[in-house]
Amino acid sequence: MTILRTVFFLSDSTAITAETLGHSLLTQFESIRFKENSCPFINSIEKAEEVKEQINLAKQKNGAPPLIFSTLMAPQLKEIIKDSDGFLIDFFETFTPQLEQELQSTATHAIGRSHGMGNFSKYISRIDALNFTINHDDGGSLKHYDEAQIILIGVSRSGKTPACFYLSLRYGIHTANYPLTDTDVDISYLPKSLKKFRDKLFGLSISAERLHQIRSKRYPDSKYASLKQCKFEAQRAELIYRQEGIPFVNTTNMSVEEIAITILQEAKLYRHL
Amino acid sequence: MTILRTVFFLSDSTAITAETLGHSLLTQFESIRFKENSCPFINSIEKAEEVKEQINLAKQKNGAPPLIFSTLMAPQLKEIIKDSDGFLIDFFETFTPQLEQELQSTATHAIGRSHGMGNFSKYISRIDALNFTINHDDGGSLKHYDEAQIILIGVSRSGKTPACFYLSLRYGIHTANYPLTDTDVDISYLPKSLKKFRDKLFGLSISAERLHQIRSKRYPDSKYASLKQCKFEAQRAELIYRQEGIPFVNTTNMSVEEIAITILQEAKLYRHL
């Protein structure tokens, strides 16, 4: 029998930090199923009381105390939650005192700073990077490739687009991507238009089986999704990377985050955010 | 004089968790400047030893011990880092024992689970949502609006595009966005093409001053960026939302994350990820 535990992520801001912390801890308990509730913007006594009631209700329903991952700052609101029937993990209360001592400095205890707006020029960098990526997705417009910090290349469905958007949206990096089409990989040759940007190229490779699985989802039983075609394209793409000395990452077992961070690190990209 | 402290984010995987948690703690110390080093994929003794050396070097250079935020799992690697000259904050070691006791279950201590690939259908949902957003950005193709979970509307540069991409890439939500152009706001009228999707509409409003500031960055001294034009558009857009009963959020002082999470919550969207 799978055990079910209710979980609450509480924050006076987006709850992104509370969720990140909670998720990385909870993925360590595979035998338990967690029913998650995200509670962002808990910034008033009314809202805190409301969440407390939800927590207490969940306790009544399940028997076991709900887990609470909290990044609340305001002492008044924290008191309300402490008084609930949940099992509380208070992120700031745990680490802030240690840091205050080590840094010989008092924490501001200001709410919701880490995913807030930040300064105007960072906001603009982020929007500019995102617009750049939108305009340079899938081989769109090579006109401004000299402004790209990195250009991802790979066969269709090797993971270029999500990695690109992740890099621009999260790190403000001007990222373009260019598909190696059947014709390019057929002749085992780097497309001419890319040659002068060789220093900015980064390849994505993928196993033929995985590519076949992904392509089949959208275009089942097509030549495009056939294992034979996928094998052909995957092998030729890797050959191009090796022949041209282009760094590449094998995306077969990687999440979007892992692909993006690997590229960030290997290409030594400067993060704007 | 600003104090400078070096910071290391250590992980056997992406280091996203270590960075997120570390940042939210460090933003509480405004008087100190932090020089941050991200160290993802520390998954061998060699790499751990290398980081340890960097940490010790930073200590020699600065005097003060570098701060280390770690989500390392492997005991062997943790020992190496513990033995460094840094001040270590170990997220899992702090909370895992409490959780094991509360859950009456042993943590797997498997590395790098929280930003890993997850299952295939979640991967596909995410890619599908992202492709949907790419195809339905800025009023592109209304053909599949019935498949949208939400459609953001607002004047140019009110924050629609980044919020859309954030919702699709992070939460797998099919998000479209449609610009209220000068003509639409001129006649204070919801564009006809949107009427039948009214239940999916969510408006973004913004202060005229902020809009002027953002638009001026790209098109200084244009009519488009003038305060007068921005005032006109911002007021009319809000009028449309009110007249038509469309929920809306004022994005003036919000980050992309805050806008996205507010929409997620107010529109009660189902997260696929």
Contacts of B59 in chain A (CB under 8 A): none
Q: Do B21 and A23 touch (CB under 8 A)?
A: no
In a domain, A240, yes or no: yes
Are A172 and A64 contained in the same domain?
A: no
Strand order in the sheet with A87-90: A32-39, A3-10, A67-70, A87-90
Residue B173 near residue B150, CB atoms below 8 Å:
yes
Contacts of A95 in chain B (CB under 8 A): 25, 89, 94
Q: Do A14 and B92 touch (CB under 8 A)?
A: no
pLDDT of residue A191: 87
Contacts of B116 in chain A (CB under 8 A): 255, 258
Q: Do B123 and A255 touch (CB under 8 A)?
A: yes
Q: pLDDT digits over A48-60, tens only? A: 999 999 999 999 9
Contacts of A252 in chain B (CB under 8 A): none
Q: How far is B87 from chain A (nearest CA, A)?
A: 8
Q: How many domains does chain A have?
A: 2
Domain extent at residue B136: 120-266
CATH code at B76? 3.40.50
- Mean pLDDT along residues B265-269: 92
Q: Which of A115, A120, A262 faces B258 most closely, judged by CB atoms?
A: A115
Is the pLDDT confidence value at A117 over 90? no
What are the phi and psi torsion angles at A155 (to 5°)?
-75, 165
Are B128 and B255 contained in the same domain?
A: yes
pLDDT of residue B206: 98
User: Can you read off the two tokens belonging to residue B227?
Assistant: 């305060």
Q: Do B40 and A265 touch (CB under 8 A)?
A: yes
Q: B106 to chain A: nearest residue by CA?
A: A29
Are B128 and B98 contained in the same domain?
A: no
Tallying the residues shown for chain B, one arrives at: 273
Q: pLDDT digits over B89-130, tens only? A: 999 999 999 999 999 999 987 766 677 777 888 889 999 999
Are A9 and A89 contained in the same domain?
A: yes
- Mean pLDDT along residues B84-92: 96
Q: Do A108 and B258 touch (CB under 8 A)?
A: no
Are B77 and B195 contained in the same domain?
A: no
pLDDT of residue A266: 94
Q: Do A117 and B253 touch (CB under 8 A)?
A: yes
* Cα separation of the two ends of chain B: 45
Average pLDDT, whole number, for chain B? 92
pTM: 0.91
- Mean pLDDT along residues A1-24: 91
Q: Do A103 and B256 touch (CB under 8 A)?
A: no
In a domain, A113, yes or no: no
- Distance CA(A198)–CA(A153), nearest Å, equals 11
Q: What percent of chain A has pLDDT over 90?
A: 79
Q: How far is A61 from chain B (nearest CA, A)?
A: 17
Is the pLDDT confidence value at A186 over 70? no
